[in-house]
Chains A and B, each alone.
Chain A
């Protein structure tokens, strides 16, 4: 019956595209997570009343984050072409999509990290200081564990946005389900290919949402 509904779908190609999408998403999620945490910590710690309060450092970080967060993703990819070429050596393929995916998503996640850290009770940080904890200990043993559910739910939202970004990147040659839907589906008027690619993307999104929600619930002991 599936053959009947999707006569033009080449299942091997569809599988290959799915793997490419999963590859781009997972690598960019991992790097975004690390960069976002670092940037978010920097934003939080340099903000007013915090351990490294520093107006200049906060201002500069905030501007960089806001600028990269505001550029529409499709334009960001084009703007980053010279950078990508220098870094990856090519502008075609899954790896070439990674710089744009990460630079587009990390500032977005950094803001969520900052918000998550702000939610931590100030008194808990004060208590850790009163116990003689260093800033590094506070980051490792208070800030990250106490904000973990919010960090994970923020990462879920970011990961889902990244699945969407990979599809956009696909249009300009990055591979993956977006690429397949655009070239094989849209340009050759095979609606069933576009539909199938969409269904698979939806399934990926649902799975990410499910894992994220479950993890957040498990981690939250409040």
Chain B
């Protein structure tokens, strides 16, 4: 659906040349939710803008839904843009138009007649759950509702691709979740390909199928969300993964656990995919004569399965404890005995 080949973008600024996007190759499949994560200045914003021609690559090519977006201009580019929806961090609604009129705007641009426009707007209002708010102005809506209008507007011309530029970064956590659920729903119902950029790993975990980690204009890591969570290779990726998996598991708390539970062994279990649903703990307790004390844990759902960590203290006869840890090693669970380091 999307193919980026050797794309490069160089900006000439007062402080010299800045390479915002550095030789990126990427393909996104139809129906996929693809996430790009990076800190600000990593080039993700420039990259997503290449997908609808708001930025043209200095070198390389960008193809979206069979159109060479990086090559076309004028009328042809405007036509292509009508088939690529985009939503924004600050919603970018027209305050002078009501919700209905905002959603109708891209239809007006596409030259759709009034009767068809009205019908389509009604469908979209229902799709994003804004029934009854059609005649409100954006200033009368909450952030989450504004983003719903943004989504409805982006979907008006039945696009094949939806671009999300930090779409939830200005929203509170609860609203973020409801917007993300809406995006997954749209992805499943309409088979829409979604490309999103964010700096929040939570967003990637919650809805993406695959993720690219960007740093200094390059993609430094790419894979399915579960794989990247399981085996983050780059330092930057590990930091992002820690945003969601280990909020309370800093070194300090691990030391604290070791101090307050001096007996037996403390094991950190990492559950990935299918194994997260297997009753590993039950098996452990049934088969071995040990006591298991759950100290702390967190299991998160991703689009390709569950992922999580669990800290347990295993006490009992030393050989039994050893056998128990050996059993855990044999399971589809990564286990690690924690010691002072």
Contacts and interface: CB of A to CB of B under 8 A. Distances in A.
Contact of A131 (B82, B93, B95): B82
A133 B78 contact: yes
Interface string B71-101: 0000001111110101010101111110000
A133 B109 contact: yes
Interface string B316-340: 0000000000000000000000000
A129 B92 CA distance: 12
A130 interface: yes
Contacts of B86: 127, 130-131
A132 B137 contact: no
B92 A221 contact: no
A145 B78 contact: no
Contact of A146 (B77, B78, B94): B94
Given A131-B105, A132-B77, A146-B94, 10 more contacts: A126-B54, A127-B86, A127-B88, A130-B54, A131-B153, A132-B81, A132-B110, A133-B78, A145-B96, A221-B95
Contacts of B243: none
A137 interface: yes
Contacts of A126: 54, 88, 92
Chain B at the A interface: SS class = mixed
Contacts of A221: 95-96, 137-139
A121 B146 CA distance: 16
A123 interface: yes
A123 B81 contact: no
Interface string A113-147: 00000000101101111111110010001100110
A134 B78 contact: yes
Interface of A: 121, 123-124, 126-134, 137, 141-142, 145-146, 148, 219, 221-222
B255 to A, nearest CB: 46
B92 A127 contact: yes
B90 to A, nearest CB: 5
B108 interface: yes
Contacts of B84: 130
Nearest to B96: A145
A133 B82 CA distance: 9
11 contacts: A121-B90, A126-B88, A129-B81, A130-B84, A131-B106, A131-B153, A132-B77, A132-B110, A134-B78, A146-B95, A222-B95
B168 interface: no
B315 interface: no
B245 interface: no
B151 to A, nearest CB: 13
Contacts of B92: 121, 123-124, 126-127
A91 B153 CA distance: 56
A146 B94 CA distance: 7
Contact of B109 (A121, A131, A145, A148): A131
Contacts of B77: 132
A57 B207 CA distance: 48
B52 interface: yes
